[in-house]
Amino acid sequence: MRIYLPWRLEFGTLLMHWVRWVQIDMLHNNPRGGPSTVCCRVGDEPLFPGAQGFCYTWDDLPNDKKKWSTARSNDHKDYMKALCSRLRADFESPTLISPPRRFDADLRKGNFVPRPQHAFDFPEDAYPEVLLAPRHRKHGAHRNYEHWPEVCAGVQGFASVGLLGTAEASLDLGGVATEHKVWNHADNLTATLNFLKHCRLCVTTDSAMAHLAVLCGAPLAVIYDEPGREAGHPTWPWAFDHMKHHAIAHCEPILYAWGSPDTVVDAVQRHLNEEQ
């Protein structure tokens, strides 16, 4: 029994690294499909389509603690040691697999599309054309884009709009139909995956929803300011090169748009026109 230990850090880095790495490890180190169990949160099962089982009896971290530095803290190390001891007692001769300190630079060979576990009852002709991910969080507030209302209103002039994210970490933009907000569906991730499958374009900032769109192969545009710098932060490098490296569909930055919602709206309209 191979047991993949939980990822307790940011959801975005889970999507960028851990889910891909688990998929690669299952394919290359467990090619005969022996039993594999993944420790994950309830609802995240579609991100691990190769697993035969899931373990939920572990403690997640609060959002303000989901930092790379936490992985080096004594509290986190002590918790993981205790969890490993419990798993060894609960399972017969398990092989426990921790996230590596460094990930393979080329994770593209681990490309896969997350697989919803439940049917999604939604009319085929009712999916929104353009998806927005209006992240709005206290943690990392510099990454909140201030102009989502203007972008939403502008795009609604020529396309239907849907919203990705969670209710507690997103702006609830006006004029969007209730059924087009994924957080109003019982299974948020299943709704998100189906919306991404059917959209004509997904527009995000550098956030977890961007990495999920890449995994799903959805057409993606990411709002940035100047190239080479994460929008809203004076020193962090942007992660777009990493996203585009793994993308299997359209994936482009919308540059110089951090203070210009019109630039975003124009880019969306241009993409939809070119697609026709």
Tokens 């169990």 belong to residue: 37
CA 99 to chain centre: 18
User: What pLDDT is stored for residue 226 in this prediction?
Assistant: 75
Cα-trace Rg, the chain: 19
Question: Is residue 264's pLDDT more than 80?
Answer: yes
Average pLDDT of the chain, as a whole number: 87
CA 260 to chain centre: 25
Record the tokens describing residue 177, joined without a space.
Answer: 């139909």
User: What pLDDT is stored for residue 155 in this prediction?
Assistant: 98
- What is the edge-to-edge ordering of all strands in the sheet holding 130-132? 161-163, 130-132, 201-204, 220-223, 251-254
Q: Is the pTM of this model over 0.75?
A: yes
Using CA atoms in the order 41, 140, 17, 256, what is the torsion angle rounded to 10 degrees? 130
Count Cα neighbours of 183 within 13 Å in the Cβ-side half-sphere.
Answer: 16
Q: Average pLDDT in the 110-139 region?
A: 88
Q: Indicate the SS3 state at residue 155.
A: helix
Could you state, in order of their start, the residue ranges of all structural domains in the chain? Answer: 2-110, 126-275
What band does 198 get if pLDDT is binned at 50, 70 and 90? very high
Instruction: Choose the weakest-confidence range: 109-123, 191-205, 259-273.
Output: 109-123
CA 94 to chain centre: 29
Record the tokens describing residue 32, joined without a space.
Answer: 């005969």
Q: What is d(CA 102, CA 165) in angstroms, rounded to the nearest whole number?
A: 28
Question: Is residue 233's pLDDT more than 60?
Answer: no
User: What pLDDT is stored for residue 229 in this prediction?
Assistant: 61
Cβ atoms of 215 and 186 within 8 Å: the answer is: no
Cβ atoms of 114 and 215 within 8 Å: the answer is: yes
Question: Is residue 159's pLDDT more than 80?
Answer: yes
Q: What is d(CA 23, CA 37) in angstroms, rounded to the nearest whole number?
A: 12
User: What pLDDT is stored for residue 179 in this prediction?
Assistant: 97
Q: What is d(CA 46, CA 64) in angstroms, rounded to the nearest whole number?
A: 25
**Residue 197 host element (H or E):** helix 188-198
Q: What is d(CA 3, CA 55) in angstroms, rounded to the nearest whole number?
A: 9
User: What pLDDT is stored for residue 270 in this prediction?
Assistant: 96
Give tens-digit pLDDT for 12-70: 888 888 898 888 888 777 766 668 999 999 999 999 988 889 999 999 988 778 877 88
Q: What is d(CA 142, CA 258) in angstroms, rounded to the nearest whole number?
A: 11
- The topology under which CATH files domain 126-275 is Rossmann fold (3.40.50)
